[in-house]
């Protein structure tokens, strides 16, 4: 019955685009799902089409031929061995855990369970793993779907959660250190380079704000206090009482420090130390990058985490591109006995006596597990995979406290290398005119040029420019196809013009490739409601206090990813994956568990959330 999917590389979006819809339910797809579970991709689109076109009998033969390709490349540098994807035995087989979605949150949860010998099946709607941290290839360029700034990817300390997630499944990637995390280009000719060395970065701020030296030391000093406390802990589920009490016993100072900062926001702490409005606006911009809101609404723990990690372990870029991380995790998962099924679009979560017992795919197939983990956003989980009219009060409360952040408008470009001045940094953040417009759609420009670090991602003599800016899906709804495309191009033209003026004269003429994505693209390819980047607080939050953990009000159903504690960001969702796997393993009896204490802690945490 089953077929196994094999090797690894894809010209993914071109495939999906030609099919009209990456997650669509077309005829070809239905026939594939009937007999064959679809695995991580094929070497390139033509092979994909050959495979798709082959008759059902030929599919298995074609598959084993393709499985003979043992080596494929992400970018042109990292080598990825073929991943053996799911062997779906029959519809009645029960797994210990099913994970819906292979974003970094889902992948980490699945791999952390697999290494504990939990029988886990990961279901991904798309044809490669990674979600927002995936990649795609075009005309010799390997593009990161989303951010190229990787926190938590060093050899140092306890919070290098990306490194640790890979190491757990025996993987390690070659890294290129980034000397400057971000180069800020701000109003009134205020330019700051966030150098890898903390002292060099501070000197930039001291130079601009000599009278705020003590304030700068005070604010960043508090950031380090939080970071050092985080770094002292062994990070596991904060919903598991035996672990939590154990950490309080081993590291009371660190735990009390974190408990103190848990309900606080960065903006309020910055204001204790700093008076200069321009410096406070700069801290808003720092927070905006990590949370898409200003400092007053950014939890202090999250702010401190990113502000310090970039100087502690540093920002490091994986050779071959960010997409390689998810590919390595997916391969590692299968090596550790887990299974992955691609093109497995979960339509609903099956409940029995109000407990989650399985999932149903869009092709009607039902799969069962003791525990169901959703890496879809909480909006998608509780409004689409479950009946919205039966949404538990706990989720209603989440939706009152948090709303969907805007999505991104993104432009992936290939340009001739000589348009970039010598010494150009890899990542830039631009707000040209007015601080008050920081959170307005299209006003700030995020720009990454990963080829500054890894030249193999583009054809020789070329660079990649990945540009993005916040944008709401409403701007693109209800347009004809023609108007939709025209609108995307007009917005992209305007942003490129702004970059020409600010940074790279001649940019338009030097462009060799350009593709723009709207919030609708995010919704379609990442299966995120309204294409949202993640949750943002509806008002001023009490730090992280209101953010839900992994358990839900539905028995046996867990969430993982950016709509869980601690929120948006690759390193944040990796932590969410680690926490989720620990809690699930405890509930399965694989990790130490005390049901009574767990129940008590769960009620206590639920009460804390009502204070937020
Ligand atoms: N959007 C960006 O630009 C971007 C880029 C890079 C990293 N990130 C970070 O990644 C974080 C998100 O990571 P994450 O792990 O929470 O999730 P994710 O959105 O990256 O991945 C979710 C995965 O679940 C799959 N999925 C959703 N519904 C499904 C269904 N019904 N059936 C099967 N599969 C389904 C999606 O296809 C996707 O692969 C963000 O917070 C962000 O910080 C975002
Ligand atoms: C239980 C209770 C209640 C209590 C107790 C106490 C305690 C013990 C506590 C503890 C806690 C903890 C452990 C916590 C943790 C946390 C964490 C880890 C966090 C993390 C976070 C992170 C984050 C947020 C991140 C983010 C990031 C991001 C978002 C990024 C982004 C990026 C981008 C966008 C890029 C940019 C670019 C350019 C500029 C171009």
Closest to 309 (Cα-Cα) out of 580, 605, 571: 571
What span, in angstroms and rounded, lies between the C-alpha atoms of 574 and 173?
16
Q: Is the peptide bond before 566 cis (omega within 30 degrees of 0)?
A: yes
Q: How far apart are CA 39 and CA 45, in angstroms?
A: 14
Question: The tokens of 401 are what?
Answer: 């406290």
What pLDDT is recorded for position 582? 98
Q: Which of 60-69, 346-355, 374-383, 600-609 has the lowest mean pLDDT?
A: 60-69
Q: Is any atom of ligand 1 closer than 6 Å to the C-beta of 131?
A: yes
Buried b (16+ CB within 10 A) or exposed e, 197-232: ebeebbeebeebbeebeebbeebbebbbbbbbbbbb
Half-sphere exposure of 113 (CA within 13 A, CB side): 32
Return all residues near 176 (Cβ < 8 A) that are at least 6 apart: 316, 317, 318, 319, 453, 454
pLDDT at 460: 97
Using DSSP, how many helices (H) and how many strands (E) does the chain show? 20, 22
Residue 369 CB coordination number (10 Å) = 22
Gap from CA of 183 to ligand 2 centroid (Å): 21
The helix (run of H) or strand (run of E) holding residue 275 is: none
Per-residue pLDDT of 478-505, as tens digits, reads: 999 999 999 999 999 999 999 999 999 9
Which tokens go with 255? 């735990």
Q: How many whole angstroms separate alpha carbon 103 and alpha carbon 375?
A: 7
pTM: 0.87
DSSP 519-581: HHHHHHHH--GGG--SEEESS---TTTT---SB-SSBTEEE-STTSTT-SSHHHHHHHHHHHH
Question: 5, 67, 66, 65: which is closest to 32 by C-alpha?
Answer: 5
Average confidence score pLDDT of the chain: 86
How far apart, in Å, are the Cα atoms of 328 and each of 2, 33, 94, 331?
24, 25, 26, 5
Query: In this structure, which ligand is nearest to the CA of 562?
Result: 1
User: Among residues 244, 88, 194, which one has the least CA distance to residue 608?
Assistant: 244
Tell me how far apart the terminal alpha carbons of the chain are, to the nearest angstrom.
51
Average pLDDT over residues 153-169: 96
570 Cβ closer than 6 Å to some ligand 1 atom? yes
- Is 90 exceeded by the pLDDT of residue 129? yes
The string of pLDDT tens digits covering residues 18-32 is 222 222 333 333 332
- Taking 80 as the threshold, does the pLDDT of residue 591 lie above it? yes
Residue 326 has pLDDT above 80, yes or no: yes
Ligand nearest to the CA of 106: 1
Q: Band of the pLDDT at 456, cuts 50, 70, 90?
A: very high
Q: Tell me, what's the pLDDT at 612?
A: 80
8 A C-beta contact, residue 214 and residue 196: no
The β-bridge relationship of strands 366-374 and 94-100 is parallel
d(CA 405, CA 378): 13
* pLDDT of amino acid 611: 85
The stretch 137-159 carries a mean pLDDT of 94
Give the pLDDT band of residue 610 (cuts 50, 70, 90). confident
For the cut 60, the answer to whether the pLDDT of residue 91 exceeds it is no
- Does the pLDDT at position 82 exceed 70? no
Count CA atoms closer than 13 A to 439's CA, side-chain side. 15
As its CATH architecture, domain 94-131+320-402+536-611 has 3-Layer(bba) Sandwich (3.50)
> Pick from 466, 494, 489: which is nearest to 476 by CA?
489
Q: Give dist(CA 356, CA 262) in Å, integer.
A: 31
Which has more pLDDT, 347 or 43?
A: 347
Contact present, 325 and 80 (Cβ < 8 Å): no
Virtual torsion, Cα 504, 426, 485, 22, nearest 10 deg: 160
% pLDDT > 70, the chain: 85
Structure tokens at 397: 């409360």
CA distance 120 to 154: 28
Q: Pocket of ligand 2, candidates 144, 180, 230, 407: which has the most ligand atoms within 8 Å of its Cβ, to mutate?
A: 230
Q: Which residue's alpha carbon is at the smallest distance from atom 3 of ligand 1?
A: 146
Instruction: Quote the ligand 2 centre to 544 CA distance (angstroms).
Output: 10
- Which ligand is closest in space to the CA of residue 127? 1
Q: Give one DSSP letter per residue of 120-135, joined into a string.
A: EEEE-SSSSSBGGG-E
Query: Is the model's pLDDT at 12 over the cut of 70?
Result: no
- Nearest ligand 1 atom, CA 380: 28
Is 374's C-beta closer than 6 angstroms to any atom of ligand 1?
Answer: no
418 Cβ contact partners less than 8 Å away, ≥ 6 residues apart: 461, 510
Question: For the segment 298-321, what is each residue's pLDDT rounded down to a tens digit?
Answer: 999 999 999 999 999 999 999 999
Asked if residue 72 has pLDDT above 80, the reply is no
Measure Cα distances from 529 to 135, 380, 522, 533 in Å: 20, 6, 9, 9
The HSE-up count of residue 266 (CA atoms within 13 Å, CB side) is 30
Q: What residue's CA is closest to ligand 1, atom 39?
A: 131
Predicted local distance difference test score (pLDDT) of residue 92: 62
**Residue 356: predicted pLDDT:** 98
* DSSP string across 434-487: -GGGTTSTTTSEEEE-GGGT-GGGS-TTEEEEEEEEEE-GGGGTT--HHHHHHH
Is the Cβ–Cβ distance between 485 and 477 less than 8 Å? no
| Predicted confidence (pLDDT) per residue in 256-283, tens digit | 999 999 999 999 999 999 999 999 999 9
List, by residue range, all CATH 3.50.50.60 domains of the chain: 94-131+320-402+536-611
8 Å CB contact between 441 and 474: no
Please report, for residues 39, 113, 328, the alpha-carbon distance to residue 82 in angstroms, rounded to integers and kept in the order given: 10, 21, 10
- 35 versus 114: the higher-pLDDT residue is 114
DSSP state for residue 265 in the 8-state scheme: B
Q: What is the phi/psi pair of residue 99, to 5°?
A: -110, 130
Q: Whose CA is nearest to atom 27 of ligand 2?
A: 569
| Ligand 1 contacts CB of residue 519 (under 6 A) | no
What's the half-sphere exposure (Cβ side, CA atoms, 13 Å) at 449?
22
For 138-148, write each residue's pLDDT tens digit: 999 999 998 89
How do 180-186 and 427-430 pair as beta strands? parallel
Mean pLDDT confidence for 146-172: 95
Is 562 touching ligand 1 by the criterion CB < 6 Å? yes
Phi, psi of 495, rounded to the nearest 5 degrees: -70, -40
The number of angstroms, rounded, from the C-alpha of 317 to the middle of its chain's C-alpha atoms is 15
Q: Which of 132, 289, 382 to mutate to test the pocket of ligand 1 (most atoms within 8 A of CB)?
A: 132
């Amino acid at each position: 019955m089953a077929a196994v999917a094999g090797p690894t590389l894809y010209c993914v979006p071109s495939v999906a685009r030609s099919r009209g819809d990456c997650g669509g339910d077309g005829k070809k797809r239905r026939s594939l799902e009937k007999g064959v579970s679809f695995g991580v991709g094929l070497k390139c689109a033509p092979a994909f089409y050959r495979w798709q076109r082959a008759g059902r009998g030929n599919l298995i033969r074609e598959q084993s031929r393709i499985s003979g390709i043992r080596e494929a490349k992400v970018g042109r540098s990292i080598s990825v061995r073929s991943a053996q994807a799911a062997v779906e035995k029959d519809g009645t087989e029960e797994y210990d855990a099913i994970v819906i979605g292979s974003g970094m949150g889902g992948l980490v949860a699945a791999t952390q369970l697999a290494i504990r010998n939990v029988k886990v099946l990961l279901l991904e709607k798309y044809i490669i793993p990674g979600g927002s941290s995936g990649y795609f290839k075009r005309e010799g360029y390997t593009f990161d779907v989303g951010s190229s700034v990787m926190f938590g990817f060093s050899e140092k300390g306890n919070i290098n959660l990306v490194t640790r997630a890979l190491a757990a499944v025996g993987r390690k990637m070659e890294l290129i250190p980034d000397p400057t995390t971000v180069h800020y280009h701000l109003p009134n000719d205020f330019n700051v380079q966030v150098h890898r060395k903390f002292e060099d970065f501070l000197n930039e701020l001291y130079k601009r704000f000599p009278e705020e030296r003590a304030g700068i030391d005070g604010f960043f000093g508090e950031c380090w206090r939080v970071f050092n406390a985080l770094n002292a802990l062994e990070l596991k589920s904060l919903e598991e009482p035996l672990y939590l009490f154990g950490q309080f016993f081993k590291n009371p100072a660190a735990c009390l420090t974190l408990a103190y900062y848990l309900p606080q926001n960065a903006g309020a702490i910055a204001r204790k130390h700093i008076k200069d409005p321009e410096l406070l606006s700069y801290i808003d911009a720092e927070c905006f990058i990590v949370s898409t809101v200003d400092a007053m609404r950014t939890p202090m723990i999250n702010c401190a985490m990113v502000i310090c990690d970039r100087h502690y372990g540093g920002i490091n870029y994986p050779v071959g591109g960010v997409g390689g991380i998810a590919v390595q995790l997916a391969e590692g998962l299968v090596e550790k006995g887990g299974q992955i099924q691609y093109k497995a679009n979960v339509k609903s979560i099956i409940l029995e006596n109000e407990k989650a017992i399985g999932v149903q795919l869009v092709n009607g197939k039902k799969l069962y597990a003791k525990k169901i983990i959703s890496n879809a956003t909480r909006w998608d989980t509780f409004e689409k995979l479950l009946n919205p009219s039966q949404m538990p009060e706990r989720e209603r409360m989440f939706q009152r406290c948090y709303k969907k952040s805007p999505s991104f408008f993104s432009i992936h470009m290939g340009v001739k290398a000589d348009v970039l001045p010598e010494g150009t940094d890899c990542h830039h953040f631009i707000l040209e005119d007015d601080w008050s417009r920081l959170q307005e759609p299209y006003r700030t420009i995020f720009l990454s040029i990963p080829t500054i670090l890894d030249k193999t991602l583009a054809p020789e003599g070329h660079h990649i420019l990945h540009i993005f800016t916040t944008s709401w899906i409403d701007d693109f709804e209800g347009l004809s196809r023609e108007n939709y495309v025209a609108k995307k191009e007009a917005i992209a033209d305007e942003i490129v013009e702004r970059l020409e003026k600010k940074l790279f004269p001649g940019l338009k003429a030097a462009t060799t490739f350009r593709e723009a994505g709207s919030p609708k693209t995010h919704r379609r390819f990442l299966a995120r409601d309204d294409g949202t980047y993640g949750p943002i607080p509806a008002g001023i939050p009490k730090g992280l206090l209101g953010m839900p953990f992994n358990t839900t009000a539905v028995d046996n159903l867990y969430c993982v990813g950016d709509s869980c504690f601690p929120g948006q960001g690759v390193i944040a969702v990796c932590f969410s994956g680690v926490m989720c796997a620990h809690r699930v393993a405890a509930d399965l009896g694989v990790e130490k568990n005390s049901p009574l204490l767990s129940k008590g802690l769960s009620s206590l945490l639920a009460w804390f959330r009502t204070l937020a």
